[in-house]
């Protein structure tokens, strides 16, 4: 399996952000799946079996922290990295996010180069384990 075929689930309720993530990542050759709420994210994770999840924090129905924890509590998702998408760039925020159980952090507004570098690092690591 090549890194370009990596399946990424984008969980984002902001339409503009969702479109932007989808455009940037699908252009790079990743296979993209989408969800707009925490409950949709849990369903989509089970249905599409993504290799990587990018999860907004503030979501309708169920927030990103609870959705991430629910997804990670499933034995079938062991080792599945979930990165938080957060608008907050406050100092110390990253530690708080990681402390909640996320594997990493991508700051919004979206910065194309940084996004591709971060996703690329996970893609390479995941590819190495397949």
| Chain residues that interact with Mn ion, rule: CB under 5 A | 13, 56, 58
CA distances (Å), 50 to each of 6, 8, 42, in order? 8, 5, 11
CB of 55 to Mn ion, least distance (A): 10
CB of 16 to Mn ion, least distance (A): 11
- SS3 sequence, 30-73? CEEEEECCHHHHHHHHHHHCCCEEEEECCCCCCCHHHHHHHHHC
Asked whether 100 and 65 are in contact (CB, 8 A), the reply is yes
CA distances (Å), 36 to each of 10, 11, 31, 40, in order? 8, 6, 17, 6
Residue 59 or 126 having the CB closest to Mn ion: 59
Residue 3 or 12 having the CB closest to Mn ion: 12
Output the CA torsion sign for 21, 116, 44, 99. negative
Residue 6 or 85 having the CB closest to Mn ion: 85
CB of 29 to Mn ion, least distance (A): 26
Residue 45 or 126 having the CB closest to Mn ion: 45
Using CB atoms, what's the residue nearest to Mn ion? 58
CB of 25 to Mn ion, least distance (A): 18
Q: Would you state the structure tokens that stand for residue 68, as one six-digit string? A: 């991430």
């Amino acid at each position: 399996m090549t890194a370009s075929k990596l399946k990424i689930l984008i969980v984002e309720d902001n339409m503009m952000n969702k479109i932007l993530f989808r455009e940037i990542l699908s252009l790079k050759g990743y296979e993209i799946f989408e969800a707009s709420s925490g409950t949709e994210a849990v369903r989509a994770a089970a249905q599409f079996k993504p290799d990587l999840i990018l999860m907004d924090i503030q979501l309708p129905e169920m927030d990103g922290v609870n959705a991430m924890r629910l997804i990670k509590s499933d034995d079938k998702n062991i080792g599945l990295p979930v990165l938080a998408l957060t608008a907050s760039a406050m100092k110390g925020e990253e530690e708080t996010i990681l402390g909640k159980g996320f594997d990493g952090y991508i700051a919004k507004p979206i910065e194309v180069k940084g996004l591709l570098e971060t996703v690329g690092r996970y893609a390479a690591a995941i590819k190495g384990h397949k």
